[in-house]
DNA sequence: CGTGTTATTGACCAACATCAAACTTAGTGG
DNA sequence: CCACTAAGTTTGATGTTGGTCAATAACACG
């Protein structure tokens, strides 16, 4: 038995196909080509980088298990976390088109990724345009998430940002079966949260206390519960529309 | 002669093809298909919306002339400008995949767009996957710009943000032939700049004064000049890598 | 149990926001 | 060409959100 986790026993190609299905229709050809893709499994310890900002990448990653995040560094050591990636994510298909990684990909908790050479992916896409369509679709939603985050960081208060972030992660985890009705567990420190929302750790801490006082969330460690979705939603000025893709 | 400008005399299909060429190789088939695309020219007065957040769109836009911008509104009337679009931009190909517009597209100055029905575009893509590739490529760069903006708004000082923004717009305008060696004209108010960088108008004003005092920029109205690119670049913590696409 | 990471507190401070008014500039119509 | 207007810029005064620093308390893990 592999040591890490039951899921790593699952064949990555199968997982890949089922991930693609959540984004669009996968034809028999698409599926056959995916099964031909070379995939190199990589166990990533918590906090270890999978790829680094500034490097030229030759492989894409597919998240099999664990939480990952992407970030950029700015002058003076500041860190901006761009987004968190859940299992089934393709954190860097985009790198097929950019010269150099413009962000780093790091494991938040220990996890597994499958690495796929660019060349192989490009070949597959060339043969099955439907695949490109699905990738595009996935990256479009990712961009929508990014736009919403920009609006948060640029124009929302700390209180709203935190509530909004919880709403978003809840919805995203729910759709992957990683959350129950009113509860989800995010292995993220207050420091990470700050670097995600453009706030200091201390201020995140105080904002969380405020949210708890107001009875909007209840947290025990990494585990978060809310009693009233509607109140959380309003507190965060959250409208899930940006997360929906076209039903074609 | 059309009244608006010489360029509007140019056929939009030709313009579209040449815009695509700046992103990637355009095959003869691609070109032929583009020429079949129905395009509806639309003159847009300054400040008029082309498409609105929350609406379901059925057409994409292609910018022929003028400056456009995209923005989101947040609770309480705050506005976050996401990005500025120059001529040749495709501000919303992404909408092919999202259920609902998650931002509005507005003319900054009077301009012209060509509107292309989604259905037609989807057909063309289905027949010529190379087109999809180019669109994808364009939207990947756009996403890179967004990520960099998020890093700015989240983790850079006002002074850095403004300088960084000037660097980016300079580079982007330069590559479209809209800027000379040390000079570019951006028809953007201080208020717009604030809504782009997550700052108040007043603070933008004071930051600009600072940049002028420091001799980093010289502005006359909408027209901006810098004397020392290197200093501007450093002031803005700007590294143009995120703007480059793969040389394939 | 110790040890290192994360959370929490308090005191203090700075960046940036808000408000309101004055000043400039660019357009517009006469 | 000038007066008039509206939009944009600039300024000052003042307020607030959120940052920084530094210490302590709580955990989590081996």
pLDDT of B228 over the 80 cut = yes
Neighboring chain B residues of A237 at a CB cutoff of 8 Å: 74-75
Question: Which residues are within 8 A (CB) of A1 and not within 5 positions of it... i.e. 6 or more apart?
Answer: A9
Neighboring chain A residues of B129 at a CB cutoff of 8 Å: 125-126, 129, 132
- Residue with more model confidence, B6 or B201: B201
What crossing angle do the helices spanning B158-175 and B190-197 adopt, rounded to 10°?
Answer: 110
Q: What is the pLDDT of residues A115-154, one digit of tens each?
A: 999 999 999 998 998 898 899 889 889 999 999 999 999 9
Cα-only R_g, chain B: 18
Distance A51 CA to C1 C1' (A): 38
Res. B70 pLDDT band, cuts 50 70 90: very high
Three-state DSSP state, A1: coil
Distance B188 CA to C26 C1' (A): 15
State whether the beta carbon of A223 lies below 7 angstroms from any atom of strand D. no
State whether the beta carbon of B177 lies below 7 angstroms from any atom of strand C. no
Which neighbouring-strand residues pair with B228? Answer: none
What is the percentage of chain B residues whose pLDDT exceeds 70? 94
Stretch B204-223: mean pLDDT, rounded? 94
- Cβ pair A244:B135 closer than 8 A: no
Distance A160 CA to C14 C1' (A): 23
pLDDT recorded at residue B103: 95
Res. B7 pLDDT band, cuts 50 70 90: very low
Query: Average pLDDT over chain A, rounded to whole?
Result: 91
DSSP state of A65: E
- Which member of A141, A154, A197 has the closest CB to residue B198? A154
pLDDT recorded at residue A95: 63
Enumerate the nucleotides of strand D whose atoms come under 7 Å of any protein CB: 7-13, 17-22, 27-28
Strand C contacts in A 88-117 (CB under 7 A): none
- Which member of A74, A129, A142 has the closest CB to residue B151? A74
Stretch B171-199: mean pLDDT, rounded? 95
Instruction: Decide if A65 contacts A19 (C-beta within 8 A).
Output: no
Q: What is the pLDDT of residues A8-20, one digit of tens each?
A: 456 899 999 999 9
Instruction: Decide if B195 contacts B234 (C-beta within 8 A).
Output: no
A220 CB-contact burial (10 Å; exposed 0-12 / middle 13-18 / buried 19+): exposed
- Quote the CA–CA distance of B220 and B224 in Å, as a whole number: 6
> Which residue on chain B is closest to A245 by alpha carbon?
B98
Q: What is the pLDDT of residues B74-120, one digit of tens each?
A: 999 999 999 999 999 998 887 677 778 999 999 999 999 999 999 99
pLDDT recorded at residue A178: 95
- Quote the CA–CA distance of B99 and A242 in Å, as a whole number: 8
- Quote the CA–CA distance of B104 and B236 in Å, as a whole number: 28
- Which member of B96, B155, B245 has the closest CB to residue A80? B155
Structure pTM?
0.94
Which neighbouring-strand residues pair with B224? Answer: B184, B219
- Cβ pair B72:A146 closer than 8 A: no
Q: What is the pLDDT of residues A197-244, one digit of tens each?
A: 999 999 999 999 999 999 999 988 889 999 999 999 999 999 999 998
Residue reference for tokens 């933008």: B204
- Residue with more model confidence, B222 or B168: B168
- Quote the CA–CA distance of B23 and A132 in Å, as a whole number: 17
Residue reference for tokens 């923004």: B165
Three-state DSSP state, A76: helix
Inter-CA distances, B137 with A139, B78, B141, Å = 11, 31, 7
pLDDT of A74 over the 90 cut = yes
pLDDT recorded at residue B137: 86
Strand D contacts in B 167-196 (CB under 7 A): 189-191
- Cβ pair A125:B133 closer than 8 A: yes
Give the residue ranges of DSSP H helices in chain A: 12-21, 28-36, 118-127, 129-155, 158-175, 190-197, 201-213, 229-235
Distance B222 CA to C24 C1' (A): 14
Neighboring chain A residues of B133 at a CB cutoff of 8 Å: 125, 132
- Which member of A54, A136, A197 has the closest CB to residue B97? A136
Q: Which nucleotide is nearest to A206 (CA to C1')?
A: C8
State whether the beta carbon of A22 lies below 7 angstroms from any atom of strand D. no
Instruction: Decide if B112 contacts B43 (C-beta within 8 A).
Output: yes
- Quote the CA–CA distance of B226 and A145 in Å, as a whole number: 35
- Quote the CA–CA distance of A120 and A96 in Å, as a whole number: 11
Contacts 24+ apart (CB under 8 A), A201-206: A203/A158, A204/A158, A204/A162
Distance A225 CA to D28 C1' (A): 21
Strand C contacts in B 44-103 (CB under 7 A): none
- Cβ pair A146:B147 closer than 8 A: yes
pLDDT recorded at residue B53: 94
pLDDT recorded at residue A247: 53
pLDDT recorded at residue B9: 59
> Which residue on chain B is closest to A140 by alpha carbon?
B94
Q: Which nucleotide is nearest to A47 (CA to C1')?
A: C5
State whether the beta carbon of A146 lies below 7 angstroms from any atom of strand D. no
Res. A2 pLDDT band, cuts 50 70 90: very low
Size of interface A-B (CB pairs under 8 A): 164
- Residue with more model confidence, A99 or A159: A159
Show the 3-state SS of chain B: CCCCCHHHHCCHHHHHHHHHHCCCCCCHHHHHHHHHCCCEEEEECCCCEEECCCCCCCEEEEEEECCEEEEEECHHHCEEEEEEECCCCCCCHHHHCECCCCCEEEECCCEEEEEEEHHHHHHHHHHCHHHHHHHHHHHHHHHHHHHHHHHHHHHCCHHHHHHHHHHHHHHHHHHCCCEECCEEECCCCHHHHHHHHCCCHHHHHHHHHHHHHCCCCEEECCEEECCCHHHHHHHCCCCHHHHCECCC
- Quote the CA–CA distance of A188 and A168 in Å, as a whole number: 14
Res. A94 pLDDT band, cuts 50 70 90: confident
pLDDT recorded at residue A190: 97
Stretch B177-194: mean pLDDT, rounded? 95
Instruction: Decide if A246 contacts B104 (C-beta within 8 A).
Output: no
Distance B156 CA to C14 C1' (A): 15
């Amino acid at each position: 038995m592999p040591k890490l986790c039951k899921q790593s026993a699952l064949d990555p190609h199968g997982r890949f196909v089922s991930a693609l299905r959540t984004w669009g229709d996968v034809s028999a050809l698409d599926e056959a080509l995916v099964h031909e893709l070379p995939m190199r499994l990589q166990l990533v310890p918590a906090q270890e980088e999978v790829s680094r900002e500034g490097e030229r990448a030759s492989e894409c990653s597919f998240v099999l298990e664990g939480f990952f995040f992407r970030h950029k560094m700015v002058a003076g050591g500041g860190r901006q976390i761009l987004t968190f990636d859940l299992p089934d994510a393709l954190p860097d298909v985009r790198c097929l088109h950019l010269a150099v990684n413009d962000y780093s990909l790091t494991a938040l908790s220990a996890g597994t990724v499958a690495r796929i050479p660019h060349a192989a992916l490009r070949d597959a896409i060339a043969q099955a345009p439907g695949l490109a369509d699905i990738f595009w679709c996935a990256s479009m939603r990712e961009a929508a998430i990014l736009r919403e985050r920009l609006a948060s960081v640029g124009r929302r208060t700390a209180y709203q940002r935190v509530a909004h972030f919880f709403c978003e992660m809840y919805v995203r985890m729910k759709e992957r079966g990683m959350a129950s009705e009113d509860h989800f567990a995010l292995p993220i420190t207050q420091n990470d949260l700050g670097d995600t929302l453009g706030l200091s750790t201390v201020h995140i801490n105080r904002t969380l206390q405020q949210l708890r006082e107001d009875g909007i969330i209840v947290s025990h460690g990494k585990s978060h519960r809310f009693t009233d979705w509607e109140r959380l939603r309003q507190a965060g000025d959250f409208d899930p529309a940006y997360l929906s893709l076209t039903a074609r």
